Structure formats: structure tokens, C-alpha cells
Amino acid sequence: MPKKAKPFPLLTAAAIKRMAVERRRHFVNKNVLRLNKSLGDAVGMTEMGVHLVRIKQGDDTTEFHTHYCDEEFVYILSGHGLAEIGKRKIKVGPGDFMGFTAQSLPHGMTNPHKEDLVYLLGGTRKAVDICEYPRSRKRGYKFAGRRHLAGFDDVDETLL
């Protein structure tokens, strides 16, 4: 079987502009709609995801969550949002950076403004991860190439 050629490691601004937009919903939060371009996938990255994301007014970026194994970051390119980190709500805008280590405070973000919120999202892609959604009392498990969701009763109330 012939070896598959690796993608070229450069995406020009013009190539990114031409990329198809994926509409991504979240399996826990129905108010999430991310208009996504998977930049890392396009250049063949497998251990880290990098995405250009656009959020319209009134939409959430994700369900309020924390990862036990994976790390992630958000870098705001344009627009403004309201980030929730632990018990704090913080206005964020262009040039702001958020980095979430494994077992960080739970976090999420929403766009309450008319202008689109555009950001670069990145994170590790470990083979195994546990993601906790404290508000919905659910835990997501990633292993063996599949994601699994379970409810739980032992919520750490300090995270809410």
C-alpha cells in the first residue's frame, strides 16, 4: 500500500479563507454553535488541535467544563466575549489569551455582542481524557477512539 503524502505545513491566509466552515454543536449544551475551520487538521497535525472559530451573538463556545488530561488555549482575534472561569465572569477581547492546564478551573465563554467573536482555539489530543461538566452533572470520557458520556452525583460544588 502506498504511503500517504503529508500535507504541506503552510496554510496561506487565502487558503484559510477558502476553507469550508464546519458548524459544530455541543452534545451537552444546545446553545453552542461554533463556526469552525480546523487549521491543524489541514496541515496534518495529530497531537494538537488548532481551530479558527467564529461565534455569533447569543451563542456559547462550549459547555462550562474542565479537562483532567488535555490542555487547551483560546486567543481572541476580534470581537468581544464573556468568559466564565471558575466563579468569575470576565469580559475578553482582541489580544486576550486564556490557557487551561489539565485540571484547571472549569471554563466557557459566550458572545453577548452583535459583532462576531473570532478566536484561535488549540489543545492537546491525548488518547485518554476525562471532561467534567459540573453544571449539567455529566462527565465525558475519551478512550479507544470514542467518546462516552455519563451522569454523576458527586459534583465538586466549589466549581459551581
- What confidence tens digit (pLDDT) does each residue in 81-124 have? 999 999 999 999 999 999 999 999 999 999 999 999 999 999 99
pLDDT mean over 136-144? 89
Class of the domain covering 19-126: mainly beta
Kindly state the cell numbers that stand for 61. Answer: 463556545
Locate all alpha helices (DSSP H) within the chain, ordered by sequence.
13-18, 39-42
Report domain extents, the chain: 19-126
* CA of residue 51 relative to chain centroid, distance: 8
68 and 104 Cβ atoms separated by less than 8 Å: no
In this predicted structure, the answer to whether residue 67 has a pLDDT above a threshold of 60 is yes
Query: What residues have CB less than 8 Å from 138, skipping those under 6 apart?
Result: 28, 132, 149, 150, 151, 152
Locate all alpha helices (DSSP H) within 7-124, ordered by sequence.
13-18, 39-42
Assessment of whether the complete model's pTM goes beyond 0.85: yes
Give the full edge-to-edge strand order of the sheet including 81-85.
88-92, 81-85, 107-110
Backbone phi, psi, residue 49, to 5°: -95, 140
